[in-house]
Structure 1
């Protein structure tokens, strides 16, 4: 068997990368329109924002149940089940006659997205060799980013043709159906890998039988699967230390998406300029996703984690000092690019650290807890920025985000060498 990166990653395309791209493309098309449709159903601006946040809340709530489902039934059935349930939620989303059903449907889609994402993460944790795990997971993160990047453009094109926001929801349904069909009928790499492992074990038994002259008896021992909460308790050390550092990275990433537009507005830039700066920052971020995996596989996880957190932490701190300078727009563009570089260098890092820390025989329960921590960090950051801005000021809120980034960098320096295996 050829265990080269191209061989293994190409084998994962039908079940992992293809469905990921389709799911992200549909989600990216719908996400910008959720507040618009909620407003059409009678929500004011605050309630529309709350409805939009139901997607993140659903994903946060779905991680631990998803870990139980994947551990009990396996990755492929979990992905298919989550996809079919999400299809039902999309139909309800498109036909919802009132705001309550619409919000519940958004929550359910986030819940299913958690199961879909955790199943892919668990599958790759057990099947991708450690020597190029980071590249595989960075490619997974980059595939998702590509779909989320292209989705709004597809949505804009559909709106220009049909002038109806619900068309984007039906487009999401089509892409999700395609993802489910790929998972169901695409070439399953797991079956090929299991067959290869069985053949290798059979060859080993044959060789042992020839060496000893005795028959080989007995079955292959299997480990008892631990429950979700037992796994959380067993790995409380890594979750409470490395997991919190990972949550700080998720918080800084999430804050970047909120802070950059807010900062542009606060210094008086027009919407077109803000969109251009944010777009360039996102393009830099996307361009570096595979480079991040290369760095992690060649030099170690810390070589991506530390520069990423230092760049983002220092970038936020420096940006917070530029509000009243002579040319704040120039500083805004420069530090937005710095944050894009930092975020790009961290592409796939949370997935990789979770896979590295998880028990390889049964990773799903651990990954459910890991993803809950990181999603909680991402969900809390915009709330923190909003609260500190309301009580104090936006520059102080941004400086606080920068401090979180620097503390996270210190956490990675302390805990990555302890909990993450060295690259062979």
Structure 2
């Protein structure tokens, strides 16, 4: 029996209240502001390039926040870190709402990105510590599903408030309301770590183990010490995770660009991408079940093969005029491939992290993932400018298949051994 399995059964309510519900609220708030950032930036006088840069501040903020987030969570705990992140996100949203210059808007969006990194790491560390291993993939896939649900709902709320007020910046009020709801919810919730710590001490007492090991488990490890100690896994399996994140991010860029390139009507493209997003969301729990029952490779490798082949299929259709029906089929293939891999990066990170102090490793792990996600749109833009969109799709398809090979080779070597 593992120590994780000794926690009382009712902690699933704690998982729901402390991790899943706050994640839904936080992601709705973030999803509400993402579509209107370029619009607000242009209304403040920013040119198109600067508006795009301001929109990218949320990704840059996430990368910056990944580095200290592990130390922050290890020092103050998961629940307090999520509350602090919600406060910081509210400050960023308030600055953005009051901004009268593009610079102040960019600063606000950057703070939201930093807060997102801390919040994501805190919930990831919480699930890693307090969910039994036999349920881990399903729990983390559900966590990923709640995040996607928020991203689906947020833009619709934004559309509604813009319709009522006529102001794009009014979407920041949705963001602020969600941050406030997260803070109140967590403030009224008992920290489940106290209950789980008591269960662990009781288990050690029955097993005749020393109770003082709790003090060692709570001792935080520095980020650079974590990077040094885990350099092999981060350079191997971490590279594979970076490719997974890159293919997921490129999918969100390639599809809209391809729809424009083949002359698809904007409304039709939006509906298709929305349907693909719904298919993606519908599969999140299935992917978790497969991982828990058969192992991580059964979703990680097929997901990457599907994403790689989907990008290659787009590139292969270019010489034949890229018919619309082919584009629709590829969009659905990419959605299914991404959906069955929901939660795989968080699950692998949880498998690899030190159970006694997961936060520092998860911070480094998430930095690898977010680096890949941030680099993919830049790669698509650069290759498209130099050689065309089909070449960019083909290159990403090759990277996807490379990622499948990397995961197949290194995942059993590290994750399964843990």
Same fold (TM over 0.5): yes
- Residue 109 of structure 2 corresponds to which residue in structure 1? 106
C-alpha separation in 2, matches of 1:310 and 1:129: 29
- Residue 374 of structure 1 corresponds to which residue in structure 2? 369
C-alpha separation in 2, matches of 1:408 and 1:417: 14
Contact 1:5 1:132 (8 Å CA) reproduced: no
TM-score (norm 1): 0.93
Report matched runs for 1:141-180 at 5 Å. 141-180=144-183
SS in structure 1 opposite 2:316?
coil
Deviation (angstroms), 1:191: 2.5
Report matched runs for 1:184-333 at 5 Å. 184-204=187-207, 219-220=212-213, 222-223=215-216, 224-325=219-320, 328-333=323-328
Cα deviation, 1:115-137, whole Å, max 9, x if unaligned, reads 11101111111111111100000
C-alpha separation in 2, matches of 1:13 and 1:203: 29
From 34, 37, 42, the equivalent of 1:39 is 42
SS in structure 2 opposite 1:30?
helix
C-alpha separation in 1, matches of 2:53 and 2:322: 35
Contact 2:58 2:109 (8 Å CA) reproduced: yes
- Residue 211 of structure 1 corresponds to which residue in structure 2? none
Measured on the aligned residues, the alpha-carbon RMSD in Å equals: 2.0
Contact 1:137 1:352 (8 Å CA) reproduced: yes
C-alpha separation in 2, matches of 1:218 and 1:342: 45
Residue segments in structure 2 that go unaligned for 5+ positions in a row: none
- Residue 68 of structure 2 corresponds to which residue in structure 1? 65
TM-score (norm 2): 0.95
Deviation (angstroms), 1:421: 2.5
- Residue 407 of structure 1 corresponds to which residue in structure 2? 402
Find the structure with the greater CA-based Rg.
Answer: 1
Cα separation, partners in 2 of 1:159 and 1:321, compared to 1, 3 Å: same
Contact 1:14 1:187 (8 Å CA) reproduced: no
The answer to whether 1:364 aligns with 2:359 is yes
C-alpha separation in 2, matches of 1:355 and 1:332: 36
Deviation (angstroms), 1:256: 0.2
- Residue 214 of structure 1 corresponds to which residue in structure 2? none
* Count of residue pairs the alignment pairs up: 413
Cα deviation, 1:291-326, whole Å, max 9, x if unaligned, reads 010010000000000110001101110111112426
Contact 1:284 1:341 (8 Å CA) reproduced: yes
C-alpha separation in 2, matches of 1:237 and 1:368: 16
- Residue 338 of structure 2 corresponds to which residue in structure 1? 343
C-alpha separation in 2, matches of 1:70 and 1:11: 18
Residue segments in structure 1 that go unaligned for 5+ positions in a row: 209-216
